[in-house]
Amino acid sequence: MGLKNEAQSGYGTKKFYQEYVSGMSRERFSKELSADTERLKLVYKEAVEDIERQQGQQLPGHVKFLRLFSDLTQRLNPTRRLIFGLGSVSFVAYYLLNFFGILEFFLIGDLLLPFGFLSMFMLLLIELLEKSDVQKEIDLARDIQLSLLPGTSLNKENLEVYSFAHTAKEVGGDYLDVIETERGTYVIIADVSGKGLSAALYMVRLQALVSMIIEKEQPTPKELFLQLNNYIKSNSRDKTFVTGCVAFFPNDEDHFEYIRAGHNIPIYYNKERDTTFKLKSNGFALGMTSTKLLDKNMEVKKFHFKPGDSVLFYTDGLNEARNEHNEEYGEERIESLMEIYGSLHAKTIIGKVQSSLETFIGSVDPLDDVTFTCIHRPSK
């Protein structure tokens, strides 16, 4: 076995080339080119297509160009917009003056091209540095968010909990929590509408509120959701809604209390019958209706939870995950896995679901956050 020489070597052309081309691959080029194309399509839609739809007529070509150019430059701050404008004018002026053969008659004619090039180059460097700083801030936000998630596992004498969480972007809006109290264990899973930073911030606020309510009042699952709905509905301008499930597992009891608010239906494995059931119960998503109406329509259920039984909670990022053929993972696969492995330990079940999902999607990155957790009562 060869030993890698970790001493610093000289920095030359070969080293520079290796650093410059690092990460470049056909697959990555394809993904990033596709992502950039989608961004440009979105900008064009906002700047041109939406205006054409409002006016009910096609815009002239030069108007389309000017609107698109304006929309792109408005994303720069005023100073950079000025530099970009001067650089663009310098390029255009140089080639027009050169085309008509009058460039030499202008005192600063020969300086137009280098000025345009340097201004664009400096603008590019500044934008890259700013993007790098923003990425560092997002990475920090991701680390903070991940630190707020519960540990992947909880092992008690009569209860096992194991979880998996993957964000589609740097930060995500899926919420998962396992909270132990003197009376028992709460398992909460939720999905905040939207993706990215806004959903992640809302998720963090939600988590703090849930922890505070449980620590102070130790409410029933229904009481918890009603208080959360009050909080979400308190801001009339807030259009966010949250789907979720809460299960409470009392200490030294053979049942759990469960409630669902418009979320994916959990799958329960019953060892005695060696079969699976969907834990259906009625309930609107939080933030969709008034607390009074939610109270009337939210259904509380209790289920037996005996040794060997398991229950799987998950967000729609799992069942809606797609492979390269645009096929959906689907609820049937999840049920089948629970039928086969439902009697095993929670960690094993989560591992089987994760492995199955990874095999199914292959090299395709999930478009939505994927979160699932399994609660298992071990056999004595």
pLDDT by residue, tens only, the chain of 380 residues: 444 444 444 556 776 667 666 767 776 677 777 777 887 888 888 888 888 888 888 888 888 888 888 887 888 888 888 888 888 888 888 888 888 888 777 777 788 888 888 988 888 888 888 877 766 766 666 666 566 665 557 888 889 999 988 876 655 678 888 999 999 999 999 988 766 667 777 788 888 899 999 999 999 999 999 999 988 887 656 677 889 999 999 998 889 999 999 899 999 999 999 999 999 888 888 988 888 999 998 999 999 999 999 999 999 889 998 888 889 999 999 999 999 999 999 999 999 999 999 999 888 877 788 889 999 999 87
Check: CB of residue 317 under 8 Å from CB of residue 356: no
The pLDDT value recorded for residue 74 is 83
- Spell out the long-range contacts of 274-277 with Cβ–Cβ below 8 A and sequence spacing 24 or more: 274/343, 275/339, 276/335, 276/338, 276/339, 276/342
Spell out the alpha helix ranges (H) of 45-156: 50-55, 61-73, 78-99, 112-148
Amino acid 196: pLDDT? 65
pLDDT, position 257: 94
User: What is the pLDDT at residue 8?
Assistant: 47
Strand-by-strand arrangement of the 160-166 sheet? 153-155, 160-166, 370-376, 310-314, 267-270, 275-278
Nearest residue to 242 (alpha-carbon basis) of 277, 280, 294: 294
Q: What is the pLDDT of residue 6?
A: 42
pLDDT score for 3: 47
pLDDT of residue 2: 45
Name the residue among 252, 248, 231 with its Cα closest to residue 240. 231
Residue 264: per-residue pLDDT: 92
* Other Cβ atoms closer than 10 A to 271: 16
What integer pLDDT is reported at residue 266 of this predicted model? 94
